[in-house]
Structure 1
Amino acid sequence: MSATRPGVSRRLLCLLGFLGGSLTLGTVSAQENVAQAIPGVVAAGAKIELIKEGFKGTEGPVALPDGSLAFTETQASRIMRIAPDGTTASFLEKSNGSNGLGFNAKGELISVQVDDARVGIVFPQGHERTLASSYEGLPFGRPNDLVVDQRGGVYFTDSGINVAPNQPAPTRVFAKPAVYHITPEGALKRLAADIERPNGIQLSPDEKVLYVANTLGENVLAYDVAADGSLGARRNFAKLAGWSKNDSGVWSSGADGLAIDEKGRLYVASNAGIEIFSPSGDALGAIALPRKPQNLAFAGAGKKSLYVVGRGAAYRIVTQTAGYTGRAK
């Protein structure tokens, strides 16, 4: 089955032709890089394959309909492609610091962009346009991740500007960190502005629940989604095992990118690796990685491989359950 709906797949394939309940923490052997078994998720000894390292920032993986995967090199302002055979090549240069990625029904690639902060279409060339760059007159700080629903609405996070330690705060005023929704008609709405650092964002397969990773919180958050795209009350969905102090002495779960499989399990990139939760929020296990992950997505034939990017590296793990095929991610 295609990674996207049929209309998206046909359009993208043409374009690509030109581009040639207890928690058991999985361990990784330094020699073999294999994972412990998590029933229904990964088999015992599943190989954690290093595809390549040395990238300049690794984010935003999303499935392409030919079995390949795109991800962003945010610092290099480039989008890369991993072919089914594991080779890598540039997909798009000059991406305006694209971070999270998603496709609409027309096969257009939408990204959140951090250089000139905005959300917009970056591919195919000639179709570029901005969907949103500010809220109530205030520019976004750092758009982070997005998910496109089946009606064409775009949910995205703005995690706020990054201020380096011992550096003065900027004098410019930015929109506060929040979760936003661009409706299918193009209207921008702020849905949640009470999250310390909203990061990864994902929808359940039936699109009735929106998940948000809060990097500075101990829990993945969840919201019920109404018919008009608005959100219900915030609730704690699952507690993360990666809750610890970071290098700056700040408590953080490291919660970053999110992915979903066809059974509705949620996969969370965190300080503990890839943490997996049932649709009801029960901890199923975690896959430890050689480097801390930043984002992840299912891709490949039947979306039966989990691709993970982080700290300049890209990995691939064969899974027992396919990723959800109703959206590119």
Structure 2
Amino acid sequence: MLIKTSHKKLVLVLGALTFATAVQAADPVTPAIPGVSAGGVLIELIKDGFNGTEGPIGLADGSLLFTETNANRIVRIAPDNTVSTFLENTNGANGLGINTNGDLVAVQVVNTRVGVIHPQGQEKTIADNYEGQPFQRPNDLVLARNGSIYFTDSGTRPTKDNPNPPVSKPGLYHITPSGTLARLANDIERPNGVQLSPDEKVLYVANTLGEHVLAYDIAADGSIQNRRNFAKLEGWKNTETGWSSGADGLAVDAEGRLYVASNAGIEVFNDKGEALGVVPLPKKPQNLAFAGRDKKTLYVVGRGAAYRIPLLTAGFAGRAK
């Protein structure tokens, strides 16, 4: 059947489609993911122009902290989206956690270490080397309920400013509640985000250069075993620097679902590693955390931007992240 239309009507239709596309591009919305997100919910840009967006973590008052690693600063986003400086001179704080005393713990990349950075006046170093060798680039951490710390060191990589860095020695580490440091793995190409399942029986690790999020079973002494490919990432693609998933920060919700920042956006998996959907973002995400008084808001930071995404589900309430 031939459909006739006037040139004027065609222009109007094409104009409406162009406008709709522009609105969609300017105002990204969530896809419908059962139990996770309703379709068409606005993904809100809180602010752009930050310098090194990493390490988001939710606080009990409903606010969110995240690190401007390159600016040597920690930023606070209040429940009303007010943005303020929480802490300056952070020694390049990257990933954040809160210990059983309520202290803010960070992996730090200037003088590389893991340590308490707040309250001010009570700063202390927990670990700054392994077998006498300083860490290269501590990246992310997660604190267990018993006070132990799991953290990643992503090693070194060539940059424009430093095209020939020292040999990369990436690793996954564990610090016991008594302060004993152990390297759990040195065979992950670029370990990045690290997260615990809600029952703390499984440790998840994002491998930026790999196609899968890795999972390990956790033994009673905090060591790990049974490495496996947990979730296949849609973000896996051939980039300018080679194949990469871009896997970065990780978060879990109250149902044990895993949220992964990757080249594709925020990828969501159930506790069996089955893909549930992807939330695309205007800029590639680096890290994410649930926050808000009901923890039903997912905050995402990346490439200088901070976003706020209302969800149907709540983040896991058993720890800050």
TM-score normalised to the size of structure 1?
0.89
Picking from 131, 140, 161, the partner of 1:136 is 131
Contact 2:300/2:308 (8 A) holds in 1? yes
CA distance in 2 between partners of 1:185 and 1:46 (Å): 45
Q: Which has the higher contact order (CA 8 A, sep 6+)?
A: 1
CA distance in 2 between partners of 1:108 and 1:247 (Å): 40
Partner AA of 1:73 in structure 2: E
Matched residue of 2:225: which SS? Answer: coil
Root mean square deviation of aligned Cα: 1.3
Picking from 199, 209, 214, the partner of 1:206 is 199
Percentage identity across paired residues of the two chains: 67
Picking from 19, 27, 31, the partner of 1:32 is 27
Aligned to 1:71: 66
Matched residue of 1:29: which SS? Answer: helix
TM-superposed CA distance for 1:166, in Å, is 8.9
Cα deviation 1:250-308 (Å, max 9, x = unaligned): 10000000000000000000000000000000000000001000000000021010000
TM-superposed CA distance for 1:168, in Å, is 4.7
TM-superposed CA distance for 1:133, in Å, is 0.8
TM-score normalised to the size of structure 2?
0.91
Contact 2:60/2:293 (8 A) holds in 1? no
TM-superposed CA distance for 1:190, in Å, is 0.4
* Correspondences of 1:101-112 after superposition (within 5 Å): 101-112=96-107
Runs of 4+ in 1 over 4 A off after TM superposition: 165-168
CA distance in 2 between partners of 1:195 and 1:201 (Å): 12
CA distance in 2 between partners of 1:186 and 1:292 (Å): 36
TM-superposed CA distance for 1:167, in Å, is 4.6
Partner AA of 2:206 in structure 1: A
TM-superposed CA distance for 1:164, in Å, is 1.2
Picking from 286, 289, 293, the partner of 2:281 is 289
Matched residue of 1:328: which SS? Answer: coil
5+ unaligned residues in a row in structure 1: which ranges? 1-27
Q: 1:153 to 1:267 in 2, by over 3 A?
A: same
Matched residue of 1:111: which SS? Answer: strand
CA distance in 1 between partners of 2:180 and 2:164 (Å): 31
Aligned to 1:24: none
CA distance in 1 between partners of 2:187 and 2:68 (Å): 29
Matched residue of 1:264: which SS? Answer: coil
CA distance in 2 between partners of 1:90 and 1:32 (Å): 27
Matched residue of 2:294: which SS? Answer: helix
Contact 2:98/2:143 (8 A) holds in 1? yes
* Correspondences of 1:223-238 after superposition (within 5 Å): 223-238=216-231
Picking from 130, 142, 148, the partner of 1:147 is 142
CA distance in 2 between partners of 1:300 and 1:281 (Å): 26
Instruction: Answer yes or no: is 1:265 the counterpart of 2:260.
Output: no
Query: How many residues are treated as equivalent by the alignment?
Result: 299
TM-superposed CA distance for 1:124, in Å, is 0.3
CA distance in 2 between partners of 1:132 and 1:319 (Å): 37
